Structure 1
């Protein structure tokens, strides 16, 4: 994958025809509501995906000046960006396994493996907070006489029990095995490409020192790790499921950064061991000013007035 400049563009530049071309994509799962029987660990990663805002949106525009590679890349980002609203930087990886010849209208099917990731800062690391693993997909592009391309549509392989049948229906037989059992070399290449977008974004904003990875690559300390009961921890999840600023605070002890109208804020979840208090806060990143905060008793889960 050649280097690409990550552009911050407005949604207005994206046409409704392009959006309609993103087919057979499953919406991200809603985070499960925590119950007394569930452990907090089971909902932390999922909740961090949803706890985000939509701005700023980092999109790409596809037009007839794109190469085939760039048209596929733009289409993957476009389709996934309409599903996953978390994160401030979006990246993709794809491997073009094969392609058909253009039909009489110039439309061409490309058979790819693709991966998508949205990244945000968590505890100073740049973490993939939403996205997908490797997915076989059929990307249709429009080829033009001048040798350039534009993205038309993307259809991913179906999930679950329909997966194998969808592969056999939509992909050439020669690709069935590669699509059904994706090997480690392909996975590593897709991840390398996807993370290159994250690396480029960090370079652009001057934060190259941030470590890039998945949620599972880093250690997170939960309230229960500090001795807070599961009952109280679940009450905090209820608080964070509301419509207050706490919704954006992390489900772990630490912080996450969110861009709102191009202003960076840090949302924090802290635990005061001495006072036995859980503190949520929204902080202006640039100055450290605390804009909102709330405090809860760590032994009862009640709000401290």
Structure 2
């Protein structure tokens, strides 16, 4: 047997395993997404071993598209991806620069190129994450400068792909339309990863994980009430998965604090840490419930 490094040994020693384990611990569910990120890490790792053996290797294109609804973990995964790329030596810094159209496109002639180039300069050596990337292209407006930004990005994605990874993100249907109108961009995106919505059980796990990080917890009735809250909230407009869960917990903590503030006696650690059913049921979401018996079932 020769002295070549074993893939699993490099996986451990490079720190990539620790980063992927952290991603697995941070994000509930998303098994297909995590599997695809591991596949990309394996590609880079094997590429590194090939290089050690003197095998000719061209750096793979790693520009990506993340599609899915808000709050499904796209930005978090992009951050972890940047760390993996750094650990394997694909990029120098491993930082993430997250932007939207407003950060790239100017409102007047001559403004867009400097704005886009400045953002690219900040992102070099890491990952440039462009959220709602389809807003860069507005064909209905002849005076729109988004196309200028796209042309600059295309050039950099081709010529400097060994030191910058671009990740485009947004709703799947809109990203499909964007790529259909921009074949040059479509041809440069090697990896398309779809982020599914979370199930109610996964959202409950996410809520409990968030509360644990804040030193809070649900008591039994509150957990039951929050399960019903999730069921109702997911059926309403503008639901944003983990983001909506975080916002809901912030409001419940506010109601919890108001309830305790009115207390005339000293508060125990248990009281300071425990959300009760009334902190959940005061949400206006329950006022939108389809029928009274449902609410009565929750409040029992």
Pick the TM interval, shorter chain. Answer: under 0.3
Greater C-alpha Rg:
2
- Structure richer in strand, relative to its length: 1
State the TM-score, normalized to the length of structure 2: 0.27
Structure with greater contact order relative to length (CA < 8 Å, sep ≥ 6): 2
| Greater helix proportion | 2
